Amino acid sequence: MGLPATTGQTSQRQLRVLVVDDHEVVHWGLRVLLTHEPWVQRYLATDEPEKAVELARRYEPHVALVDVFLGEASGTDLCTRLCDASPITRVLLMSGVGRITSTAARRAGAFGFVPKNWSIRDMARAARMVALGMTVFAPTEHPRPNALSDREWEVLKLMADGSTNKEIADRLFISHHTVKDHTRTLYRRLAARNRAEAIQKAQRMGLLG
């Protein structure tokens, strides 16, 4: 995958970058690269949403790279909070467990989305482009985002259709207890407290039509 290089005066701008991710390898890779880039004025990083909001308010980063799934928190929900804390900050969403649609990303307030299977250098280049006022959305390779397992995806679709746990169990030929395990996993992965909130967040993230 290749992104165009930025040119002209804008390419010389000194930019502040915030990375919000709960994976140590991602932090390590981006830190090693970005702290040596001449265009990076300040590199900030955290794995906690509350700390991210605090850093955004204090340092006003030009771009924030935010993981879609932050443990039990939602990166899409964090978008709005970061923009409220620092109006100049443009969010670039990223994910290692699937893709969200550009519509869902824009709805969350993001200016781009990149998958983590891109190289660290391409992710950094995308962050720079977003910081300079451009948008970067990875092309959708599949019509269905693959952020969930096949079984979780089936349970989520049936939940959205209004099926009860018993109906889901009968439809998928699994036990009622297994359905409850899957719904608990879905709530945790979507940072939702109940079925309605899980469906709403899945729709916002482009996991459902």
With respect to residue 4, please indicate whether it lies within any of the assigned structural domains. Answer: no
| Residue 2 scores a pLDDT above 60 | no
**Same domain for 108 and 65?**
yes
With 0-12 CB in 10 A as exposed, 13-18 as middle and 19+ as buried, what is 172? middle
Q: How confident is the model at residue 203 (pLDDT cuts 50, 70, 90)?
A: confident
| Residue 199 scores a pLDDT above 90 | no
Could you give the CA distance from residue 145 to residue 99 in angstroms, rounded to a whole number?
5
Could you give the CA distance from residue 19 to residue 59 in angstroms, rounded to a whole number?
13
Q: How confident is the model at residue 60 (pLDDT cuts 50, 70, 90)?
A: very high
What average pLDDT is seen over the chain? 84
| Residue 53 scores a pLDDT above 60 | yes
Bridge partners (DSSP) listed for residue 18: 44, 64
Q: Characterize 33-49 residue by residue with b for buried, 16 or more Cβ atoms within 10 angstroms of its Cβ, and e for exposed.
A: bbeebebbebbbbbbeb
| Percent with pLDDT over 70 in the chain | 87
**Same domain for 81 and 184?**
no
Domain range for residue 57? 9-137
> Which spans in 74-161 are helix H?
75-85, 102-107, 120-131, 150-160
* In contact, 127 and 63? CB cutoff 8 Å: yes
Phi, psi (deg, nearest 5) at residue 136: -135, 110
| Residue 8 scores a pLDDT above 60 | no
Q: What pLDDT, on the 0 to 100 scale, is given for residue 82?
A: 95
Q: What sign does the CA torsion over 189, 51, 63, 44 have?
A: negative
Mean pLDDT score, 35-57: 95
Q: Answer with the one of 85, 115, 137 that is the final residue of a domain.
A: 137
* In contact, 142 and 20? CB cutoff 8 Å: no
Token pair for 125: 């280049």
The number of distinct structural domains making up the chain is 2
Could you give the CA distance from residue 3 to residue 104 in angstroms, rounded to a whole number?
22
With respect to residue 3, please indicate whether it lies within any of the assigned structural domains. Answer: no
Q: What pLDDT, on the 0 to 100 scale, is given for residue 98?
A: 62
Q: How confident is the model at residue 206 (pLDDT cuts 50, 70, 90)?
A: low
Q: Answer with the one of 85, 105, 137 that is the final residue of a domain.
A: 137
Q: How confident is the model at residue 138 (pLDDT cuts 50, 70, 90)?
A: confident
**Same domain for 169 and 114?**
no
Of the candidates 194, 129, 201, the one whose C-alpha atom is nearest the C-alpha of residue 165 is 194
Could you give the CA distance from residue 38 to residue 26 in angstroms, rounded to a whole number?
20
| Span 62-109, pLDDT tens digits | 999 999 888 778 888 899 899 999 999 999 999 876 667 788 888 889
- SS3 call for 33: helix
Mean pLDDT score, 37-50: 94
Highest mean pLDDT among 31-40, 53-62, 152-161: 53-62
**Same domain for 35 and 87?**
yes
Q: What pLDDT, on the 0 to 100 scale, is given for residue 23?
A: 84
